[in-house]
Amino acid sequence: MTLRWLSLSPLMLAMAGPALAAECPSLLQGELPKLRAKENIDLCQRFAGKPMLVVNTASFCGFAPQFKSLEALNQRFKGQGLEVVGVPSNDFKQESRDGEETAKVCYVNYGVTFTMTEPQIVKGPDATHLFKVLAEQSSAPRWNFYKYVIDRQGKVIANFSSLTTPDDPELIAAVEKAIASKP
């Protein structure tokens, strides 16, 4: 009996792989390179079933001090499963071309501990897949520090302009709604 179970186990794993991939929402298909790391983030593996706040960032934007309140939001809600993801972009001409400089701004200047990616294109036809789907579900970012709250099913439930700070009551309410959503 044990031998039969072991012989079925690889078959069961092979059959489960496509089923798990099929359950991954479109939003989370693909990978993004992690900031200052030699690894990619498999978005589905890392974030499927989790509430998220995705923000396109820029190191030299006047809204960059929001990194501090994004980190506070991350600390406040990470124990409830929230994943904050920062995606630097030079689409609005305010991000360094040097990932090391971007990392210094995020990690050293603002103490960011949430997930950050290498700079990506976030608007237009060349946008990374994540931002193409965010735009389809809501709207493309209009400036740096545009924020998307995503529920556990991978659907945008709210988006906020750069002017909305991470401690805004409406954004907090949307994050709490995403946390309360069913996977």
- The catalytically annotated residue of 24, 44, 61, 106 is 61
DSSP annotation of 58: -
Helix, strand, coil in percent for the chain, rounding step 5: 40, 15, 40
Q: How many helices (H) and strands (E) does the chain have?
A: 6, 7
How far is residue 97 from each of residues 7, 124, 159, measured CA to CA in Å? 51, 19, 27
End-to-end CA distance of the chain: 35
174 burial (CB, 10 Å; 0-12 / 13-18 / 19+) is buried
DSSP for 119-182, please give it. Answer: ----SSTT--HHHHHHHHHS---SSTT-EEEE-TTS-EEEEE-TTS-TT-HHHHHHHHHHHHS-
Q: Is 61 noted as a catalytic residue in this protein? A: yes
Which token pair is 126? 């060349």
Q: What residues are labeled active site?
A: 61
